[in-house]
Amino acid sequence: MIDSIKQIGEYATQEQGDSLKSPEDLLKLLCEDPASSPAYRHIFMIEIEKNGESCSFVRVGSEEYSHDRILQYMYRKGGANGPDLSLTGRLTEPEKFFSNKILGWLKQDFSDFALGSDIRFLESLRRCITENTTKIVEELEKKSEPIRKQNENAIVTVIFHEGGIRKYIGDFPLFQNIFRDKALSRYYSKYNTESRAENQICSVCREKKDEVYGFVTPYPFYTVDKVGMVSGGFNQSLAWRNNPICRECSLLLEEGKKYLERCASFRFQNFNYLLIPKPVRPGIDTGIYEVIEDFHRQGADVRLSAKYLRLLDQTEDEVLDLLSRQENTFLCNILIYHAGKGEFKIDRYIEEIFPSRLRELFDAKKKVDRLPYISDLEIAAFSNGKKTGSAPFQFDFGTVRYFFRSEVDESLNGYFLGIVNKIFTGQPVDYQFLIYAYMRKIRKQFAQNYNTKESSLRGLALLCYLQELGLLRNPKERCMMKPSIADLRTDIPQPKIREISDTIFEHYADFFDSDAKKAVFLVGVLAQLLLNIQYMERKATPFRTKLHGMNLDRMKVTALFPKIQNKLEEYGKNYYRGLETLISQYMIQAGEEWSISKDEISFYFTLGMNLAYLFRSEREEEKTINDESKGEE
């Protein structure tokens, strides 16, 4: 990963025409944009009159933020409760901000950075601003109040009037030198100690360098603030032995990080992730970066394209579809993480995904989206977290997430990401584990009297997707089945019933691979048809209580079958004798030993209930139409 980020940094600096050896370019690389969001639209300026070495306070002025002045603002974030690396900062609560960020910066020891007149100038500036603390804070409060009401923010900086010319801190070599040295010192100075060594091998470029640093990391998943993180004992000054990185590589890693956050930072299923491309031939196969940059610039146009597909999340932007159309001149690494309060935790790192693998994943998705019954499914549509109606189901990793939501159990995040990792890397996914997850959700929905159609069809879609990719481990080995009783007899069942069931079993032959599964599925169909009749007659479905909360096994299913038949006879509406005959035939052929788990039995039963509409008899449909006509009268 580190090598990939460094390569990205090399590409970014070359594209920008920057040189790590140029002081001006180095300053440009070290500066950060103080406007971390579009809300930072205002610059509040503490204006100082500079006359030689002496300073006098003028006022607190304001202007619109300008991206073109980033070098003049010369901002780089410091500690949360300490000063930033210059006299520019993001305004929070005015009094606290002024104390921590402005006075905090001025109270530092600058003896290593300035001599003579420069020291006297800094002292005069410190006295000037300190003596006018009350005025400055009051002005900041006054100016910040109206913009806060508009949900906007401000950046505070110091500017100087000298000889009739207005200058920003980034215009002064003195402030530039202080800023540059302090920014670079963060690679080796931390925890009140220094960790650097001379004439050592850099762990990134693997070259011997004049100096290497010990506190370099593009993301804070590696720290040396705890015992055990430093080789040879808890001596932080020797951290360079763990991870020696030279100055050039440190800067390239930082540029690579900026590039990723700007162009390759995405979200899916409430997770953050970075897409880290790695050319097969570094410095040659750079076309991957252009694809990512084009998507970053033209994302809206790409999303409107009819060919644009999403695999990870239908509600988020993603570039994987475009990458899948490229040649295998690069591979992708996906870093899934969560961050906050100075913490950066890697949830999953998925490595070495070639475009050809992405094509396989998208091709399988397209096939699943065209499958019968699944393609008819309508699911809730959302925009900005609010339900906006319904939309046709399209397979994405949201179907995996559907069964492994952290709202139910935090540990389900790990299972979800584990399955995502296996899909990308071609590792098998356990069939029985998925069926268990399906039934955990379906049983809960059934107990709350919720519709289970989406759950059962999503579950089937995921099984089909994994089977298409060859990743489904442990559905029993398919074998040539001997002719069943249903195949040998020609007197019954009714042709329509047989045609419908055969069509379903043929479309999903990988899963309806035993007579027991077919029997269970059809009993589920019959159960739902009974519930439909009960609801039409009584506006209630009392037979649901006989379904054991969807905790079914062979004995329960075989016992349910005659009970359903009897109920249909009691209502005088047993329109399904052909279906019952077919069930009987499959049950006889299945025998006494069903080699399927209780969760499988429950899942295929539920699936049958949710596809029961395909089996409705003409007489039932006529009855429904007549009832609706009477209601209209």
CB atoms within 10 A of CB 380: 10
Sorted by where each begins, the domain ranges of the chain are 2-29+186-255, 31-182, 264-466, 480-626
Average pLDDT over residues 563-575: 94
Among candidate residues 253, 339, 326, the one with its CA nearest the CA of residue 288: 326
Q: Which residues contact 540 (CB under 8 A, 6 or more apart)?
A: 534
Q: Is the pLDDT of residue 80 over 70?
A: yes
pLDDT greater than 60 at residue 335: yes
Given a cut of 80, is residue 475 above it in pLDDT? no
Instruction: Give the residue carrying structure tokens 């002045």.
Output: 69
Confidence of residue 479 (pLDDT cuts 50, 70, 90): very low
Banded pLDDT at 621 (limits 50, 70, 90) = low
Confidence of residue 481 (pLDDT cuts 50, 70, 90): very low
Cα–Cα distance for residue pair 180/30, rounded to 1 Å: 7
Instruction: For residues 101-109, give the mean pLDDT.
Output: 94
Q: What is the mean pLDDT of the chain?
A: 89
The pLDDT assigned to 75 comes to 97
Distances from the Cα of 582 to the Cαs of 224, 485, 577, in angstroms? 69, 9, 9
Asked if 171 and 58 count as a contact pair (C-beta separation under 8 A), the reply is no
* Model confidence band, residue 628 (pLDDT cutoffs 50, 70, 90): very low
* pLDDT, mean of residues 344-352: 92
Q: What pLDDT is recorded for position 236?
A: 80
Judge whether residue 435 has pLDDT over 90. yes
Q: Are 248 and 205 in contact (CB under 8 A)?
A: yes
Model pLDDT, residue 387: 82
Q: What is the pLDDT of residue 491?
A: 43
Mean pLDDT, to the nearest integer, of 103-118? 86
Give residues with Cβ within 8 angstroms of 522, minimum separation 6. Answer: 501, 579, 582, 583, 586, 608
d(CA 23, CA 83): 23
Confidence category of residue 227, pLDDT binned at 50, 70, 90 = low
Higher pLDDT, residue 294 or 521:
521
Q: For the residues 188-214, what does the mean pLDDT come to?
A: 92
**Cβ–Cβ < 8 Å for 105, 86:** yes
Q: How far apart are CA 607 and CA 524, in angstroms?
A: 7
pLDDT tens for each residue of 285-325 = 889 999 999 998 886 666 666 678 999 998 888 999 999 99
Residue 353 has pLDDT above 70, yes or no: yes
The answer to which of 99-108, 210-219, 352-361, 577-586 has the lowest mean pLDDT is 210-219
pLDDT at position 414 over 80:
yes
Confidence of residue 488 (pLDDT cuts 50, 70, 90): very low
The mean pLDDT of 579-584, rounded to a whole number, is 96
Element (H, E) at 268: strand 265-268
SS3 category, 218: coil
Given a contact cutoff of 8 angstroms between Cβ atoms, the answer to whether 154 and 42 are in contact is yes
Token pair, residue 268, equals: 């899916």
User: Who's near 139: CB < 8 A, 6+ residues apart?
Assistant: 44, 59, 60
Mean pLDDT of 502-509: 95
Give CA separation, 91 vs 63, 149, 599, in Å: 14, 15, 57
Kind of pairing between the strands at 271-279 and 193-194: unpaired
pTM (2 d.p.): 0.85
Q: Which residue has the higher pLDDT, 423 or 302?
A: 423
CB atoms within 10 A of CB 375: 15
> Does 238 have pLDDT greater than 90?
no
